[in-house]
Amino acid sequence: MTHGFVLEFENQADLDYYLTEDPVHLEFSRKAAPLIEDSVVIDIRDGVLFGPPAKKPTVGAGTFHGSCHCGDCSWTAEITEPEHILCHCETCRKLGGGPYSMNQIIHKNQLQILSGKPSTYTYTGASGNPVHCYFCPNCTSHIYHHQAVMGDRIIIRTILLDNGARMPPAGEIFAEGKLAWVDALRAELEKR
């Protein structure tokens, strides 16, 4: 059984008092201790304060199932290092409507389309060579793309894979095109 408590303190001194001196809390902790297998205290702003560090939400290597928004297209991708490479280029922003895309390069044999028939959109990349984008014709989810210069390797959108939301970011490309607020997003939101 898992329980979560959310406590809000007006200042750090109150928090420190509650954790280390408050007699009611200390008595509760003493009585509850035999019943608690594991506990962790998380400061929503600063990360873990006490207890073991929270487990990093990572996933292991393997075959990942992917799907588009409408579900017409589904596929599997074999990935040895489940992580995202962020691309900040303008094309990714235009195609995806977000501040960056999340990708990984795999061999084309590591991608299997299980259902649906992706449509193709081709544009000329910065190198002057064609780039073919494969997307769901119904909902437009971008599944993968292939640059002529990459041979047998393709670029898949890692966030469309199951567990994609649990994969960590591992690098970024075209960082010079990064929107100024991407790194500062959390700080910006906290100011509001």
Task: List contacts with Zn ion (CB under 5 A).
Answer: 68, 70, 72, 87, 89, 92, 136, 138-139
In the complex, minimum distance from the CB of residue 174 to Zn ion, in angstroms, rounded to a whole number: 6
Q: Which two structure tokens, joined as six digits, stand for 155? A: 């670029």
Cβ closest to Zn ion, residue 29 vs residue 127? 127
Nearest to Zn ion of 64, 145 (CB atom): 145
Residue 73 burial (10 A CB sphere; 0-12, 13-18, 19+): buried
Please say which residue, 15 or 111, places its beta carbon nearer to Zn ion: 111
Q: Residue 144 CB, nearest distance to Zn ion (Å)? A: 13
Q: In this complex, which beta carbon is closest to Zn ion, that of residue 91 or of residue 163?
A: 91
CB nearer Zn ion, residue 94 or residue 186: 94
Q: Taking the complex as a whole, how short is the minimal distance between the CB of residue 70 and Zn ion, in angstroms? A: 3
What is the C-alpha end-to-end distance of the chain, expressed in Å? 36
- Contacts of residues 169-173 at CB distance under 8 Å and 24 or more positions apart, as own/partner, are 169/83, 169/84, 169/85, 169/86, 169/102, 170/81, 170/83, 170/84, 170/85, 171/85, 171/86, 172/85, 172/86, 172/87, 172/88, 172/100, 173/85, 173/86, 173/87, 173/88, 173/89
CB contact set of 78 (below 8 Å; sequence gap of 6+): 62, 63, 64, 106, 110, 111
CB of 122 to Zn ion, least distance (A): 16
Q: How far is the CB of 150 from Zn ion (least distance, A)?
A: 14
The amino acid at residue 24 is V
